[in-house]
Structure 1
Amino acid sequence: MLSVLIPTYNYDITYLVHELHKQATKAEIDFEIICLDDGSKAEINSKNDSINQLNYCKFKVLPLNIGRSAIRNLLAKEAQYENLLFIDAGTFPKKDTFVKDYIPFMAKEASSGGMTYIEKEPESKYKLRWIYTKKREQNTLCSSNFMIKKKVVLNITFDESLIQYGYEDVLFFETLRKNNIEVFSFNNPVIHDCTDDCLTFLKKTEFAIQNLKLLAESKKLDKTQSNILKYYSIIDKIKFVKITAFCFKLINPILKRNLCSKFLLLSVYDFYRLGYYCLIKTKDK
């Protein structure tokens, strides 16, 4: 009935898998849990290997890193059931009825319980990821927690041209929308653990912006799906792209100092993303 699919990379997912296994067993449904590590070769995988001792569970390390999109497509192909529940490593169900609460929505083509944040504010170096989840990600579709029919995701796959972090989920859900497949949102979140420190999250942000540039240039996403593309188009029209890129480079240390502080501003993070996008665009000119 339900295939729970967990892509991971260099992360201890045993606690998450045990919780999902307990909940699925209690829900009295046919299920499996498949976990694939994307070739991390990490010592933590010796601990994750214990997942194979649980009934209906499988953990495997891929020999090579294939990327965030390709690993999700591979998980979908390996699943035996028609309902696929994708859960990201680094998250944990908020409710002990998380699995059970998905069951009424199995008739739908796609549904998402959303994501939320740890209630206790973390120390400064982890605050950027925490506050971004709190203020921005709670109300958006993301690949961290959603259920979809296997036939749908095998037909509308994650774009495997995207290898690194970022925007693969935005593109996927936009493609679903263009194919008239509604993702039904309801309140059944996972909690994001926010373990990325500020500089790690900013590096991931830069990877995401690089992906956005590729998607915009290939016309897979446009300014109606991204505020960065929207504001870039305005800056481009008034010939301010190079000036914005120059300012970004000049004040980059100041931006990072704010974003790694206790008093960070999301508006500064917004400028960081836009400025970085302008910077990589100027390298093409």
Structure 2
Amino acid sequence: MYFYTLSQPPMLSILIPTFNYNIVPLVKEIFEQVSKCNIVFEILVYDDGSNSKLNIKNQSIKLIENCFFKELPHNIGRSAIRNLLGTDAKYKTLLFIDAGTFPKEKDFIKNYILIHNKEVIIGGMTYGEKPLEKKYKLRWIYTKKREATKGLHSSNFLIKKSLFQLNLFDETLKKYGCEDVLFFNNLLKKNIEIIKIDNPVIHEADDDWNTFIKKTDYAIENLIQLIDEGKLSISNYKISKLYMQLSQLGLDKFVSLLFKWLKPLLLKNFNSNHPSIFLFDFYRLSYFCFIKNKK
């Protein structure tokens, strides 16, 4: 049992959105850690209408003290389910943790509690052991080379409920991608301090290359939508800045054509034992150009 010299120990709502995933091991680990922290807590797990046989296993969460599992009748999207979890939470301090991740350290919960008085804290993400099957290698490499160094993402973060209620995730985004970019960007525009600590979850890289490419396409489409709607600035993101430079040089249409010509070869590389992160970056940029030139 941990004991803290805190005048007001936090009452913590741990919120886990999930979809088509066996969430039981993560919940058991979180429960074990938070039970040692001598605080009042709840763990809410909401399944976003996955209609999966995995939910037979996930139902066992209800047998764990202070843990609740709810199946939504239909999919409402990554933004809406986070907003629903935050709204239903009983306590003033919220800790969001993504399905498909797992705490790297046994002090994961304790590390958050020690600085719980901050308004927003991001713990970060890292990568696990290299996957054995080639179909998972692209996702694993991307996590290692890009996401593990990315500053702001929602894989695990703590936020005060009062602040969250005033800054919900944008529910106009129905597809995967960029909802966390917009969420944290809106906080920064309001000069809300975001503290980053070394308290990562391990991304389990469970998307095969084909699923990951589909998610990548959705994320780029969302980014273009948010830029077009004025919710994000085109100059704030590397891929959109590169597109802007290509457009100014009149090269964006050529890159768009390259995307159509080279896509089969790129996909072949992504489903190989040695997927190239350079080629993946080119895929993202050329797809951005392709979508912009379709309009």
**TM-score, structure 2 as length reference:** 0.94
Q: Which amino acid aligns with 2:271?
A: C
Q: Give the Å deviation of 1:235.
A: 1.2
Separation in 2, partners of 1:224, 1:216: 10
- Residue 166 of structure 1 is matched in structure 2 by 177
Find 1:217's aligned residue among 223, 228, 250. 228
- Residue 47 of structure 2 is matched in structure 1 by 37
Deviations 1:111-151, CA, capped at 9 Å, x for gaps? 01110101335432111111111111112211111000001
Separation in 2, partners of 1:42, 1:123: 23
**TM-score, structure 1 as length reference:** 0.97
What are structure 1's unaligned runs of at least 5 residues?
Answer: none
Deviations 1:139-178, CA, capped at 9 Å, x for gaps? 2211111000001111011011111110000111111101
Q: Give the Å deviation of 1:96.
A: 1.0
Q: Give the Å deviation of 1:236.
A: 1.2
- Residue 200 of structure 1 is matched in structure 2 by 211
Q: Could you say if the C-alpha distance between residues 122 and 142 of structure 1 is closer, same or farther in structure 2, counting changes exceeding 3 Å?
A: farther
The 3-state SS of whatever aligns with 1:55 is coil
- Residue 86 of structure 1 is matched in structure 2 by 96
1:53 equivalent in alignment to 2:60: no
What are structure 2's unaligned runs of at least 5 residues?
Answer: 1-10
> Counterparts in 2 of 1:134-173, with a 5 A limit?
134-140=144-150, 141-173=152-184
CA contact (8 A) 1:122 1:130 kept: no
Find 1:191's aligned residue among 180, 185, 202. 202
RMSD: 1.0
1:236 equivalent in alignment to 2:250: no
Separation in 2, partners of 1:37, 1:266: 32
Q: Percent identity?
A: 52
Deviations 1:74-114, CA, capped at 9 Å, x for gaps? 10000011110000000000111111111112110000111
The 3-state SS of whatever aligns with 2:42 is strand
CA contact (8 A) 2:41 2:66 kept: yes
Deviations 1:2-43, CA, capped at 9 Å, x for gaps? 100000111100000011011110111110000111111111
